[in-house]
Each structure stands twice: as C-alpha cells, then as structure tokens.
C-alpha cells in the first residue's frame, strides 16, 4: 500500500445518507417510546394500594405518623384510617384528615410487609 | 458493506422492538386475576369466630339467614378494592349462586355512594359503612379487600384477598360447624 494513499474525498451524498439514517433511527426511537410509553392499567394506587387525596411530593402529604396523630391539623374534624392489601405479602395503611364537609386536608400512608 | 451492515442492524433492532411490543400487548390483554392464585388469599386470624353481629344493616339482612354467606369489605381509599369491585362487575359468574353482600367502608356517605355507582355494585346487597363503623365495631375489621364468611349468620372465617376469583376458590371449603 502506498504511503500516499489517501482516503477518497467524501462524496456529497454522504451527508444525505447520514441524515436519512439518523431520521430512521429517530423514528425507531419514537416508535419504541410510543409503544412502551403506554402504561398498562394498574391498581397500585398513588401510594401502595392507597388512593390518597394528596400524594408524596404534595405539601399536604404529611406522612403516616403525622396524619394518624393529627399533629399538623389540630382543627381537622376527623380522620379516616384504613388498611389495604397491596399484594399477598404487602399491606398499606392509608390516612386522610378532613375538615367540614369532608374536605380532605392532609394525607399520609405507610406500607409494610405482611 | 458498512451501510448494508447498518441496515441489517437497524432491521434487527426494529424486529426486537416489535417483538417486545407484541409481548407487552399480549400481556396487557390477559385479564388480570383470571383464576387467581392461592397466595392472593390470606386468612385473618384475630377475628371473633362464632360471633353473630348485634345488628345487620338493612341491605345486608338477607345474609343473616343464609346457610352460607360472604360479606366483602371494600374501602373507597383502597385501589385494590377498586380492582376487586371491577372483577365483581365484569365477571358476574364470581357471585352467581352465592349469598354475597358488599360493605363499603368510607369516610363519608357520598364517596361510598359514588364508589357503588362507579363499580356497578348496586346489583348486589351493598351497605355504605361510614368510617367503617359497623365492621370495626362488630368484627374488628379495618382492612380491605377482606371477606367475612358467615354460616347461619355467624362468622366462621375471614380472609384478606387481592383477587376475587382466588377468594371464591378459597372460601368454598369453609364449612366448619360453629
């Protein structure tokens, strides 16, 4: 092989081919996202098996201990505490504090292995 | 040659994506809980076996005199309860020929009524139990989905379950004399 061999100059269609392949690849990724992006119907609830008014991340989600002890809502009229079975091996406790007309004020939950 | 290799690689990648997509669609089309499994049912141990409630709510009165009856305890705060309610609605064969009633524990009656309407439970004897007051007072039950099995109005066993079909299979053998 000669030391003076050089790579042939890139033909002008090279960029076009790369663009086409890139478009095909992007389209494939978008298709995959569309197919796998759909979530199957789930019954996990927004915290374990609890269907809470306020989820973790909300300022009104105060956690199980605070919810069950009323600590952050001295003016709440009442609380609703119930336990649910998420799976054969896991249960959850669900807590809601409410004011008049059963307006939810705070939520809390905990999950544990049964 | 490189382009051919790239094209073949792209084709293979697409085939794998399509394969997994088909598997995912197949999985999502399988009815959840079809048949259930024994692990979906757990006995509740700390229940007053042999107890007859002091008072049966009006909608559940027919359970009191039945040779064998089941009261399903659901809650509006429980999404696994929504799943079970959906099974009762979509698979009427699960309750056919059975004396089955539904107790809906809830914080307030409005939410309970909405739960009944949303899940088509009105066709079954159903009782909206505010604060779960009846089931807690009579049986100490504050967990859902749960099932109370009665014989001639007396509690003989109780279960926590996550699948109605599995519960049906587990509850039938409960024929202990009180």
Find chain B residues with C-beta within 8 A of A45's C-beta: 78-80
Q: Which strands form B68-75's sheet, in the order they lie side by side?
A: B41-43, B154-161, B146-151, B68-75, B100-106, B126-130
| H or E stretch at B113 | helix B109-118
Mean pLDDT of A17-45: 62
**Per-residue confidence (pLDDT) for residue A35, from 0 to 100:** 56
Sign of CA dihedral A50, A56, A62, A66: positive
**Cβ-nearest to B78 among A32, A82, A87:** A82
Cβ contact B77–A82 (<8 Å): yes
Nearest Cα residue in chain A from B159: A85
**Residue with the two structure tokens 């544990």:** A112
Q: Model pTM greater than 0.80?
A: no
Segments making up each domain of chain A, as ranges: 10-39, 42-114
DSSP annotation of A61:
B
Distance between the two ends of chain B, CA-based, in angstroms?
81
| Distance separating alpha carbons of residues B138 and B141, to the nearest angstrom | 8
**Reported ipTM:** 0.75
Nearest Cα residue in chain B from A44: B79
Q: Judge whether residue A9 has pLDDT over 60.
A: no
Cβ contact A84–B143 (<8 Å): yes
Find chain A residues with C-beta within 8 A of B17's C-beta: 28, 31-32, 35
The pLDDT tens digits for B47-95 are 999 999 999 999 999 999 999 999 999 999 999 999 999 999 998 888 8
In the structure, what pLDDT confidence band is assigned to residue A8 with cuts at 50, 70 and 90? low
Q: Judge whether residue A97 has pLDDT over 70.
A: yes
| Distance separating alpha carbons of residues B113 and B94, to the nearest angstrom | 22
Mean pLDDT of chain A: 78
Using 70 as the pLDDT threshold, list the residues of chain B that sit under it. Answer: 26-38, 171-178
């Amino acid at each position: 092989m000669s030391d003076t061999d050089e790579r042939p100059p890139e033909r002008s269609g090279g960029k076009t081919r790369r663009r086409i392949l890139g478009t095909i690849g992007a389209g494939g990724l978008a298709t995959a996202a569309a197919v796998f992006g759909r979530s199957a119907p789930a019954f996990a609830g927004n915290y374990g098996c609890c269907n809470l008014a306020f989820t973790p991340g909300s300022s009104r989600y105060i956690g199980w201990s605070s919810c069950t002890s009323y600590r952050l809502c001295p003016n709440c009229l009442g609380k609703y505490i119930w336990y649910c079975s998420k799976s054969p091996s896991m249960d959850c406790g669900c807590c809601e504090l409410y004011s008049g007309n059963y307006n939810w004020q705070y939520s809390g939950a905990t999950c544990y292995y049964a | 040659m490189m382009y051919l290799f790239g094209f073949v690689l792209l084709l293979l990648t697409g085939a794998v994506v399509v394969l997994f997509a088909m598997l995912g669609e197949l999985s999502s089309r399988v009815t959840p809980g079809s048949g259930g499994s024994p692990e979906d049912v757990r006995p509740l141990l700390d229940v007053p076996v042999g107890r007859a409630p002091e008072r049966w709510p009006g909608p559940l009165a027919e359970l009191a005199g039945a040779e064998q009856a089941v009261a399903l305890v659901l809650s509006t705060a429980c999404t696994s309860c929504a799943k079970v309610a959906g099974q009762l609605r979509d698979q009427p064969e699960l309750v056919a020929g059975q004396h089955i009633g539904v107790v809906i524990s809830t914080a307030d009656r409005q939410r309970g009524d909405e739960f009944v309407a949303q899940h088509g439970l009105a066709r079954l004897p159903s009782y909206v139990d505010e604060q779960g007051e009846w089931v807690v007072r009579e049986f100490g039950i504050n967990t859902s989905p749960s099932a109370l099995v009665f014989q001639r109005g007396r509690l003989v066993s109780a279960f926590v379950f996550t699948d109605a079909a599995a519960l049906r299979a587990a509850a039938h053998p409960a024929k202990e004399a009180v």
